[in-house]
Amino acid sequence: MDFRKIEWIFLFVFMGLNIFLFSIYWSNQHEQNLVTNSNQREDIMRRLENDGITIKDEISEAHQEGYYLSAEQDDFDSLVSDAANQTIAQNSNVSDKVLTNYPTSEATFDLKKATNSFDRLMKDKAFVMNGEEYTYLPDISKKDDELGKIVGAQSYEGIPFIDETSRITLDIGESNDQEQVVKYTQTRVKEIEPLREKMALYSQKEILNTLYINNNIPNKSTITNIYLGYFKTLEVREKNVYVPVWFVKIKTSDKTTQIEKVNALNNQVITNNLVPKVENP
């Protein structure tokens, strides 16, 4: 037999076998991708419902935009050097960049009209420094029949800082049958600047799916709140780095409350992450 013909026969058989094996491999991969995509497309709302998980508000699929931000924390040195702040300084003390003030003049507050009361006090330059920078945050404020902790924070392009480094907390008590501010604490960031261009953020629905597949949402729980804010993720000497974070408040079946945090830029759960501190970059 002509060895040349035998070589050609083996070549065609080998090529045919490769094509056959590749077609099987491609078919399997295609089927696997279909299954994966099908699982990814399976509605997270249906999966939550099947596990007895309820949601108080509608879930958005909108993609907002945000930044990596850099900022410094104010140490309130200007409090003692600026004559305009002397009324505040007399009733305040500063420790570890946290200002604590005990108002001596009447600072009434109506918990039923918290937004209006908060905005009014923030405009009072004899009551608080840089108050116009702070916006009322109902999602993390607490109100009950006896007292309240009303929280506000600075914002950057409409997204507030949900972080202890930028916050004012008004302690509301009752005095002379009136609700009044009996104390407030204040922190502030300054020299806020973006480190990168604005980026698209993951949606509420996408981050809920991430929490679900990572078993961060207990069965038979209630998702009471989802809100977005800048959160400190890195400290480099005097500079802090902030990223947009989705906060998900969950009330479990045993009535305890947990708050999960998801990085809105990369969709990673950061609930238990510690903030790295770099002294000498």
Kindly report the number of other CB atoms within 10 A of residue 173's CB atom: 14
Residue among 84, 99, 174, 182 at smallest CA distance from 134 = 99
- Identify the band that residue 8 occupies on the pLDDT scale cut at 50, 70 and 90: low
**Residue 131 domain-assigned (yes or no):** yes
In this prediction, residue 280 has a pLDDT band, given cuts at 50, 70 and 90, of low
Are residue 177 and residue 235 in the same domain, yes or no?
no
Q: Where is average pLDDT lowest: 76-85, 156-165, 178-187?
A: 76-85
Segment among 4-13, 53-62, 177-186 with least mean pLDDT: 4-13
12 lies in some domain: no
Does 164 share its domain with 63? no
Residue 113 forms part of a structural domain: yes
Same domain, yes or no: 62 and 119: no
* Mean pLDDT computed over every residue of the chain: 85
Per-residue pLDDT at 93 = 92
Domain containing 126 — which CATH number?
A: 3.30.310
User: What is the distance between the alpha carbons of residues 66 and 242, in angstroms, rounded to a whole number?
Assistant: 10
Q: Which of 189, 214, 245 is the last residue of a domain?
A: 189
The answer on pLDDT for 26 being more than 90 is no
Q: Is residue 3 part of a domain?
A: no
211 shares a domain with 232: yes
What does the pLDDT read at residue 2? Answer: 55
Residues 81 and 151 in one domain: yes
Q: What is the mean pLDDT of residues 115-120?
A: 96
Give residue 87's domain range: 74-189
Answer yes or no: is 35 within a domain.
no
pLDDT value at position 42?
Answer: 61
Of 10-19, 84-93, 129-138, where does the model show the most confidence? 129-138
Query: 43 pLDDT band (50/70/90 cuts)?
Result: confident
Q: What count of other Cβ atoms lies within 10 Å of the Cβ of residue 196? A: 9
Q: Report DSSP letters for 36-52, one per residue.
A: HHHHHHS-HHHHHHHTT
Residue 23 reports pLDDT greater than 50: no
pTM above 0.75, yes or no: yes
The end-to-end CA distance of the chain, in Å, is: 76
Whether residue 14 is contained in a domain is answered as no
pLDDT at 159: 97
Q: For residue 271, what is the DSSP state?
A: T
**Span of 30-34, 39-43, 131-135, 226-230 with lowest mean pLDDT:** 30-34
Residues 158, 99, single domain; the answer is: yes
Structure tokens given for 214: 């990572």
Claim to verify: residue 184 and residue 199 sit in the same structural domain: no
Residue 95's identity, in one-letter code, is S
Q: Is 30 exposed, middle or buried (0-12, 13-18, 19+ CB in 10 A)?
A: exposed
Is residue 88 domain-shared with residue 181, that is, in the same domain?
yes
Same domain, 78 and 178: yes
How many domains are contained in the chain?
A: 2
Give yes or no: residues 54 and 155 share one domain: no
What pLDDT is attached to residue 138?
A: 94
In the block, residue with structure tokens 């790295």 = 276
Ramachandran assignment for 215, one of left (phi > 0), alpha (psi -120 to 50 degrees), beta (any other): left
Q: What pLDDT, on a 0 to 100 scale, did the predictor assign at position 227?
A: 97
> What's the mean pLDDT in 258-264?
97
3-state secondary structure of 4: helix
Residue type, 124: D
**pLDDT > 60? residue 122:** yes
Q: Do 130 and 237 belong to one domain?
A: no
pLDDT surpassing 50 at residue 34: no
Q: Does the residue 28 lie in any domain?
A: no
Q: Single out the residue of 197, 8, 24, 180 nearest to residue 104, CA to CA.
A: 180
Q: Is residue 91 part of a domain?
A: yes
Q: Are residues 177 and 86 in the same domain?
A: yes
Summarize pLDDT for 49-97 with one digit per residue, the tens.
Answer: 999 999 998 999 999 999 999 999 999 987 767 766 778 888 899 999 9
CATH of the domain at 57: 2.40.128.690
Question: Residue 212: pLDDT above 90?
Answer: yes
Boundary (domain end) residue, out of 168, 189, 210: 189
- Using CA atoms, how far residue 63 sits from 48, 60, 206, in Å, is 21, 9, 10
Question: For the chain, what percent of residues have pLDDT higher than 90?
Answer: 67
Q: Domain end: 141, 171, 189, which one?
A: 189
